[in-house]
Amino acid sequence: MTAIFAYADSEVAFVASDTKRETSGYQTVACKTTRWSENIIISQTGHGEGLQRLVGEMLAWQHRDPKMLTGAGVVHAFKQLAANRLTAEIGMLKHPANAPTVSGTLVVVEAQRGGLPGTIFTLDWVKQTQVAQPGPVYADGTDQPAFFAIAQAKFSSMGPGGSGFDLAAWGLSCIDQAKAHKNGAAVDWPADLTICRPDNGVLVSVVQRAAGPSSATHPLFVI
């Protein structure tokens, strides 16, 4: 029950995600996006509690080696931990028949820097596979094909121009349309916005929670 909208280029990684999560019939607000490094953002869709624990375990591997702060490092940590975490989550279920519900995807958004194009790829928790996704925009969540179509259409109408590209406005507009979609009951406000980018020669990250599609947002979301 998620909507994730991502953008990546050589210098910028950005994710907008909704925060709706339902647990045992109760709706809660949950953070679904994690900053991995100065140039990588990870977002999640699927079995929320289990994926949050998986990402937490992966974060403990971050500083074992400088290479761990790259996309390859994310993949390495995932492959080391995903299978055992999946088995543990299934073992925690009260009803083993619900095992198929323990699944999910990590969306990894990386600004490569150095003039190289940004990359977006997904990690399937059950299959434990990595799939490269098209850029510069991508979407995932409850209805991936529909949400991806929203991302592309909004990028075409709101994308880079002479006055810059307001990634926050793009992301919030995408989430608003995803919520209005026929499967939008799985999506709700507030939304989380995360960006990794350079600012006056310094690599910075900005995280902001937006109450709705018209929320005022930080100027560094404009590239």
pLDDT of residue 190: 97
28 inside domain: yes
Instruction: Look at the chain and report how many structural domains it folds into.
Output: 1
45 inside domain: yes
pTM: 0.95
60 inside domain: yes
Beta bridge partners of 208: 193
101 inside domain: yes
110 inside domain: yes
d(CA 187, CA 184): 5
Does the CA dihedral 173-174-180-185 come out positive or negative? Answer: negative
Which CATH number belongs to the domain containing residue 176 in this structure? Answer: 3.60.20.10
Please report, rounded to a whole number, the percentage of residues in the chain having pLDDT higher than 90.
81
221 inside domain: no
112 inside domain: yes
Q: How would residue 97 be classed by pLDDT, with cut points 50, 70 and 90?
A: confident
Q: Are 3 and 20 in contact (CB under 8 A)?
A: no
At 1 the three-state DSSP class reads coil
What residue numbers bound the domain in which 106 lies?
3-213
222 inside domain: no
pLDDT, one tens digit per residue, over 108-130 is 999 998 889 999 999 999 999 99
